[in-house]
Amino acid sequence: MIKGMFTSSSMAYPCQISKELEQYVVTNAPPTVYYIPDFITEVEEQYLLQEVYKAPKPKWTQLSGRRLQNWGGLPRPKGMLAEKLPDWLLKYTNRISDLGAFNGKAANHVLVNEYKPGEGIMPHEDGPLYHPTVTTISLGSHALLDFYRPIGQCGTEGPRDEESRCLLSLLLRPRSLLILREEMYERLLHGIRNDWEDTLTERVANLSSASAQPGGVLTRGTRVSLTIRHVPKVICANLLLGRKKC
Ligand SMILES: O=C(O)CCC(=O)C(=O)O
């Protein structure tokens, strides 16, 4: 990690993604993937895990195959009734906003996902409720994130089965930051298979920056991810209550 690069926090956020991030672009993937190993330290990782597991039980939503915490409000087509992010998350969301990841806006939404070995997430798009950039900090264990062409993109004759639609994968090591934008966000679906281990192949586009080799097999532990985004359409609670200040 470059010292001092990811530490400042300011009121106004850069409108352009930081030039210093160029060295982290994954060049053999469609535009644009930034993979930043060791974005946080081991001490910060432990701190974030402690805070995640401090949350009261009702903060967790159990889904089939993973559980999650939602912070910042529930994004809806009419707007998100915004809730202030807790300080332990704000420190990191501000660091990412400071990189210009959200075109001058501040991240205001965090989804915490917990995956036990054998769990994953179905291929999906993040959709139009978010600014089209997703940033993810991985904690505790790695993930292999797979990217798929959507069905129908190559015409009705295009491949429909998941395996042949899979274009590439990214290895997300604990403590790394992933930033996806443009085609990687807007055109492709992403998902994590329900497996206990991951075999690395040449299809993993960031093998070298993730210090990995083809043929390597990684056994999964429990992984917690922080998916940090900006929801542009926000409803101000104070305005709803008839107060002047938002
Ligand atoms: O855990 C991850 O890295 C992916 C999470 C994700 O795709 C989502 O929350 O929509």
Residue 158 has pLDDT above 70, yes or no: no
Assigned domain for 243 exists: no
Over the stretch 116-148, which tens digit does the pLDDT of each residue have? 999 999 999 998 999 999 999 999 999 999 999
Assigned domain for 5 exists: no
Assigned domain for 189 exists: yes
Over the stretch 47-96, which tens digit does the pLDDT of each residue have? 999 999 999 999 999 998 899 999 999 999 999 999 999 999 999 999 99
Looking from the CA of residue 190, the nearest atom of ligand 1 is: 7
pLDDT band at residue 226 using 50, 70 and 90 as cut-offs: very high
CA 85 – CA 109 distance, rounded (Å): 8
Give the distance (Å) from ligand 1 centre to CA of residue 245.
Answer: 34
Give the distance (Å) from ligand 1 centre to CA of residue 246.
Answer: 30
Assigned domain for 50 exists: yes
By the 8 A CB rule, do 89 and 142 touch? no
The CATH number covering residue 132 comes to 2.60.120.590
Assigned domain for 239 exists: no
Give the distance (Å) from ligand 1 centre to CA of residue 225.
Answer: 7
Assigned domain for 121 exists: yes
Domain span at residue 195? Answer: 21-151+163-231
Give the distance (Å) from ligand 1 centre to CA of residue 224.
Answer: 10
Assigned domain for 55 exists: yes
pLDDT band at residue 164 using 50, 70 and 90 as cut-offs: confident
Looking from the CA of residue 138, the nearest atom of ligand 1 is: 3
Percent of the chain with pLDDT over 70: 88
Q: How many structural domains comprise the chain?
A: 1
Ligand 1 site, CB within 6 A: 111, 113, 121, 126, 136, 143, 145, 190, 225, 227
Assigned domain for 156 exists: no
Give the distance (Å) from ligand 1 centre to CA of residue 189.
Answer: 11
For residue 84, the Cα-to-chain-centroid distance in whole angstroms is 19
Best residue among 192, 198, 228 to mutate for probing ligand 1's pocket (most ligand atoms within 8 Å of CB) is: 192
HSE-CB of 102 using CA atoms within 13 angstroms: 22
Over the stretch 180-221, which tens digit does the pLDDT of each residue have? 999 999 999 999 999 999 999 999 999 999 999 999 999 999
By the 8 A CB rule, do 34 and 172 touch? no
